[in-house]
Structure 1
């Protein structure tokens, strides 16, 4: 007997309408590209509110559309969602996702019309795939240089700048019939911990947190239909629980003070900030009681989703979770589905060059030679984040595409037991050619700093490039999306950008 069948045969079953309402409050991840697992079919039949797709569900555009059509055939009001921020943060490379820079580069270019064109391209592509909910844009402010998770996903540190670009993004996405989602309320930019890996805490007093709320206010004013909560503890707001599980933050602050009445969705419950401290099942129950309308269980193992579902049903049976709270949440999800569950019948073309234009306008330079053709390029970058699926694009590939005489070395992750030998090998291969050394968030990854400093000490003429946030290089791309790297490449090789 399966887990699902066992749960289904329990005595004292809930009324059918309440059972369906509880299922509306769940968003499930799953494995597979060409068929829907039986357990997921059963969940959908009982009223599952949404599914979230990841790279594991993507092979190519035609396959994704077949999959979303199959899902929607099971239940037409099922929301099909994905993380789709741009700048390499997304899961649709295999399906031909438009190349746009990350949000920080858009903030540096600071042209809301161009931001809107980039958001329109992403949303238009989603609509062609039958995906009608996008867990983007990021509304967090990049507050700390040692923040490990927001960084170039943010539009910047200034709340006014972030607000105007959020409005542009949300409006453009809405025009495509795709639901956007501002995240991670009330902000993840003031932490030094990635909530994927542990509990994050923002220790700032309330008066310092208030500016971080302004982008979310702007998103709400722009009509954003969804917000996503942060797995972050804010002692000034609620010293006991992270925002995802806090009635003070989700109810008093978001619903009452900010007046948001759209769908509030949790960040993924299997993230260690929740899973390690509470467990996914308890996290689901507490989040819904606190005011979330949907909880995401993004992991592909549907048994985790079933555990979360069972915890919610048990809490309803025992009165720990109020029926009225779940009916309120399910009502919001139904209204969201009425607006967004059905993809548009016709999808107009989008501007395919908007992303590269934005990336070019974001590049900042100081003291760079007119061009360094025939260079030896050393690209240092951390391994891709498993949840965000940055694709690991490298600068060397982009430079070679424009200058085939380029040589180089790409290094991702720690450089082994003998970094001195690596430095000697790089310098030997470089010879008398110009040397370019690119880093990405070297302040967070000391091995990059050590290699960069060792190389530049031996070659003071080396051109230093920052592909994340600025770290003193002569060139800064403000992101590692493919178009960010292409734009900085054009400067390095002297190619004329459009």
Structure 2
């Protein structure tokens, strides 16, 4: 379906209210150099921000030119991106610092090191002209079957998570970049990925994971992002993103947050399939959100959301003061963060690899296996999260050119055939079998177990959360995998 801008059939809103409504929208778009005309018109009317993705990134110089071009259209435009570290980020092609991701940082539990990693990511953003980072994750990894939080969280302990959130937020703030703790009031207690369907956290109120969000607010986090999750203990009828009880009564009044509350992307199926993006935008703003994100590059979806908000304002369904209040919060945010630093000091490019090494080597590490045949089993990349092509074999070859291996991304059509092919390729070489959250992906466990049954001496590695006694990287970022490769090959400074 092709979306086009349609003229407004009814009386136009006052200019200042129209601009306030546009302030409440963050839009994704296609392109690396030219700004689409539709986006230019949205920016001209007051668009609050844009969100960049891998599709907008070719290299560092190009990204900086793009952000400069966007700000030339409107200096107070917020330019943001998801930038969690580990395998979750969109700036691989722009030379992003290699940071292992939150769970590994929690395993090391060195707040200074977490701050150095966050500083590296924020410094890189500032150098690119990006001044809003939709990170860190404040969720706690509660459910073994949770498919979406996992190593994106700092851990399973609320106090540990809270400490590292504070370190991350402070380091990001020091770079003049806005951080955003997510996903309020927590996505770690679900067994569903809200990208694919509505998620529910059935726990009673006193068991919900509000502590890290309280800590983030106390640390001065300027933004929070809502979860598309239903919490029956708080509101049995609507997900947090659309709930006045959660965003208003809980977040604003009980927790006292007065920064910008931004929705997770409205095209996620938890919202799009049950409400539609346009209705989701209107309901979220009425419930207390200050900005709604439409991350898909089809600007027609952003226009539909914008038009639904304007229509609701004209009909009185959405209160003018609610939108003006949201716009004032956004304006305070952009006044503080929209302009990137002129000079960006260097960051510690080695902090991430140091953290990854310490996470791996502080726990079960087998004897070195130089010349191994490395089998890397992992799920197909998540469609909403970037994957820069990292795999364990590539990192092994970088430190041990005698290694061989097989990378299997996603469930193979013939698992038994894959097992036989791997064993043939391996010959007499030592075997390393890596899995990533095999408990969620039974095909990995079947392939792994078949290989280990045939080769009982195989070294097992987990590249997600820990799996029994397997050596664990606590994430699949490049730094995580390099640290594992060094340990397996006896390379690197700590061998």
- TM-score w.r.t. the length of structure 1 is 0.97
Secondary structure in 1 aligned to 2:432? strand
2:108 alignment partner in structure 1: 109
How far apart, CA to CA, are the structure 1 residues paired with 2:378 and 2:71? 39
Query: Deviations 1:164-206 (Å, cap 9, x if unpaired)?
Result: 0000000000000000000000000010110000000001111
2:279 alignment partner in structure 1: 282
**Structure 1 residue 157, shift from structure 2 partner:** 0.8
**Structure 1 residue 495, shift from structure 2 partner:** 1.2
The answer to whether residue 66 in structure 2 is matched with residue 67 in structure 1 is yes
Contact 2:3/2:301 (<8 A) preserved: no
1:119 alignment partner in structure 2: 118
1:493 alignment partner in structure 2: 489
CA pair 239-81 structure 1, distance change in 2 beyond 3 A: same
Secondary structure in 2 aligned to 1:264? strand
Secondary structure in 2 aligned to 1:267? strand
**Paired residues for 1:1-400 under 5 Å:** 6-7=6-7, 9-209=8-208, 212-363=209-360, 368-400=365-397
Query: Deviations 1:215-259 (Å, cap 9, x if unpaired)?
Result: 001100000000000000000100000000000000000000000
CA pair 243-189 structure 1, distance change in 2 beyond 3 A: same
**Structure 1 residue 3, shift from structure 2 partner:** 6.4
**Structure 1 residue 10, shift from structure 2 partner:** 2.7
How far apart, CA to CA, are the structure 1 residues paired with 2:492 and 2:50? 43
How far apart, CA to CA, are the structure 1 residues paired with 2:6 and 2:363? 65
**Structure 1 residue 423, shift from structure 2 partner:** 1.1
**Structure 1 residue 369, shift from structure 2 partner:** 4.0
Query: Deviations 1:265-308 (Å, cap 9, x if unpaired)?
Result: 00000000000000000000000000000000000000000000
CA pair 80-427 structure 1, distance change in 2 beyond 3 A: same
Query: Deviations 1:38-85 (Å, cap 9, x if unpaired)?
Result: 000000000000000000100000110111001000000000000000
Structure 1 stretches of 5 or more lacking a match? none
Secondary structure in 1 aligned to 2:293? strand
Contact 2:5/2:303 (<8 A) preserved: no
How far apart, CA to CA, are the structure 2 residues paired with 1:224 and 1:446? 39
CA pair 237-472 structure 1, distance change in 2 beyond 3 A: same
Contact 1:366/1:474 (<8 A) preserved: no
- Comparing 171-180 with 355-364, greater Cα deviation is found at 355-364
CA pair 128-365 structure 1, distance change in 2 beyond 3 A: closer
Contact 2:79/2:131 (<8 A) preserved: yes
**Structure 1 residue 5, shift from structure 2 partner:** 5.1
2:437 alignment partner in structure 1: 441
Secondary structure in 2 aligned to 1:363? helix
2:471 corresponds, among 472, 475, 482, to 475
Contact 2:357/2:483 (<8 A) preserved: yes
1:427 alignment partner in structure 2: 423
Contact 1:384/1:390 (<8 A) preserved: yes
Secondary structure in 2 aligned to 1:349? coil
Aligned positions, number: 493
1:408 alignment partner in structure 2: 405
Secondary structure in 1 aligned to 2:447? helix
CA pair 375-365 structure 1, distance change in 2 beyond 3 A: farther
**Structure 1 residue 460, shift from structure 2 partner:** 0.7
CA pair 283-366 structure 1, distance change in 2 beyond 3 A: closer
**Structure 1 residue 473, shift from structure 2 partner:** 4.1
1:461 alignment partner in structure 2: 457
How far apart, CA to CA, are the structure 1 residues paired with 2:206 and 2:31? 47
Secondary structure in 1 aligned to 2:265? coil
RMSD across aligned positions (CA):
1.2
**Structure 1 residue 420, shift from structure 2 partner:** 1.7
CA pair 476-318 structure 1, distance change in 2 beyond 3 A: same
Query: Deviations 1:10-33 (Å, cap 9, x if unpaired)?
Result: 331000000000000000000000
How far apart, CA to CA, are the structure 1 residues paired with 2:493 and 2:228? 41
How far apart, CA to CA, are the structure 1 residues paired with 2:78 and 2:9? 28
Secondary structure in 1 aligned to 2:225? strand
Structure 2 stretches of 5 or more lacking a match? none
Contact 2:366/2:471 (<8 A) preserved: no
Secondary structure in 1 aligned to 2:408? strand
- TM-score w.r.t. the length of structure 2 is 0.98
How far apart, CA to CA, are the structure 2 residues paired with 1:346 and 1:425? 53
Query: Deviations 1:111-133 (Å, cap 9, x if unpaired)?
Result: 01000000000000000100000
